[in-house]
Chains A and B, each alone.
Chain A
Amino acid sequence: MSLEVTLRSEVENFSLDVAFHAEGGITALFGPSGAGKTLTLRHIAGLERVGEGRISLHGRLLADAAAGHHLPPRERRVGYLFQEYAVFPHLDVARNIAFGLADRPRREREARVAALLEMVDLAGFDGRRVRGLSGGERQRVALARALAPEPALLLLDEPFAALDFRVRRALRGSLREVQRRTGVPMVLVTHSLAEVRELADHLVLMDRGRVLAEGRTADVLSDPGGPQAAELLAEELG
């Protein structure tokens, strides 16, 4: 797999100018608030239009500003886990997960929902209402929902930020496990170096709408390659 991103955009007075690539496994976009991490994900998902540049996934062009090409989100096969999960409050757990499977035969849909519930440790939660779920359970429902239509890439926006630290630790481990089992490449937005160390194979350092460094996680952490990147990491390490 490879994701190639070269984009410049102006969104609400914020200027984003980033270029990076991601391989299989988990790629972390790391940086402080206002680095443009979420905005970058939104461009990859197709929720924002690329002002200049292009985005391709497995050689398939998702967006190319020069050619006026913008594949709508529903045709991109890019899953998105929102920061607050956006689990549909009016649907039960099974219907949430099945939302992206509307075009599959019923039997296949049910089998897939059951398999996903099992994978995220929510077996038996099918008919549960969203209102009664904990933060960690909601996160896993949203993860299963995003994986259901077999995306070619999964974007995760601060998937652990809304959780307390114990749940966070447990779910980090299970995310790694889910990635390994499904093989779906993931791009993870985070501002936690602990998450980067534990999860990311590949690391992109970002600040103020720019990429400061990118490479294998261990390489970037040991040699950030520039004073700004080094400063960013030092700040986070305190």
Chain B
Amino acid sequence: MSLPPLGLSLVVAALATALSVLVGLPLAWLLARRSFPGRDLLTVLILLPMVLPPTVLGYYLLVALGRGGPIGQWAEAVGIGRIVFTPGAAVIAAFVASLPFLVVAARAGFEQVDPAYEEVARTLGRSDLAIALTITLPLAWRAVIAGAALSFARAVGEFGATVMVAGSIPGSTRTASIAIYDAVQAGRMHDANVMAVVLTLTTAGILFLLTRLGRGTGW
């Protein structure tokens, strides 16, 4: 895969957002609707990437995903091969950084759903999973879209953790935010200028569409 920085940024952010939705929705539901030992600890762990400096996050990821780290060793053993300094590492970095935004928004959305809807659904013979998918999720739809938009925005803007764990390899891991930094460092102000404007307009356009979708027509 060889992509110009902007294309790479959008692909990485889209994959990271998709992962955040897949992993984050069940987590958000669990935190909103179940009490279990360690729930507060889990909340803190999920939120931590929001407050940690991205370089610290990147450092932890480097330790975990690197050749000597537990995930890195496992990936080598099962034949996935090296993770760090690949596009996959950029996706993982953006995913970890953007996950809390999805979880916070979706959890708040799930908590807004009147539990009576879920309770009546339980008396109608449906499983918890069916209820979560057909009642809770559709009723919290707007919050989930808002969370996905925030998550995507954070993923596009990801810089520090990505540099640490994926580096800046042209066409492979050099996303737009990194390319802009590199261009400024090299004194290529015109390149930086063009990329900054295009990145701003593109992401603004995508966020605008997501916001419209989230507002929807309602029921």
Stretch from B48-56, B77-85, B102-110, B114-122 contacting the other chain: B114-122
Stretch from B31-39, B123-131, B144-152, B153-161 contacting the other chain: B123-131
Out of B117, B120, B139, B219, name the residue touching A80 (CB < 8 Å): B120
Q: A74-B127, A129-B219, A131-B219 are in contact. Are A88 and B122 (CB under 8 A)?
A: no
Q: A130-B219, A131-B219 are in contact. Are A84 and B116 (CB under 8 A)?
A: yes
Quick one: CB contact mask for A126-153 with B, threshold 8 Å, 1 for yes?
Answer: 0001110000000000100110110000
In the bound complex, residues from chain A placing their C-beta under 8 Å from that of B117 are 86, 88
Measured between alpha carbons, how far is A131 from B217 in the docked complex, in Å? 13
Q: A90-B219, A102-B130, A130-B219 are in contact. Are A73 and B116 (CB under 8 A)?
A: no
| Cβ B124 vs Cβ A74 within 8 A | yes
Determine the residue in chain B with the shortest Cβ distance to A151.
Answer: B123
Q: A86-B114, A130-B219 are in contact. Are A47 and B119 (CB under 8 A)?
A: yes
Interface residues contributed by chain B, number (CB under 8 Å):
18
| Cβ B135 vs Cβ A73 within 8 A | no
Assign chain A's interface to a size class.
Answer: 20 to 34
* Count of chain A to chain B residue pairs whose CB atoms are closer than 8 Å in the complex: 64
| Cβ A86 vs Cβ B125 within 8 A | no
| Interface-centre pick from A46, A76, A99 (highest chain B CB count, 10 A) | A99
Q: Please, could you name 26 A-B residue pairs with CB atoms under 8 Å apart, sorted by A? A: A47-B119, A47-B122, A72-B122, A74-B123, A74-B126, A75-B125, A76-B123, A78-B123, A79-B123, A79-B124, A80-B120, A80-B123, A82-B120, A86-B114, A86-B117, A88-B117, A88-B121, A90-B139, A99-B134, A100-B125, A102-B125, A129-B219, A142-B120, A145-B120, A148-B124, A149-B124
Given pairs A74-B127, A90-B219, 14 additional interface contacts (CB within 8 A)? A45-B123, A47-B122, A72-B122, A73-B123, A74-B123, A74-B125, A76-B123, A78-B123, A80-B119, A84-B116, A88-B121, A99-B126, A131-B219, A146-B123
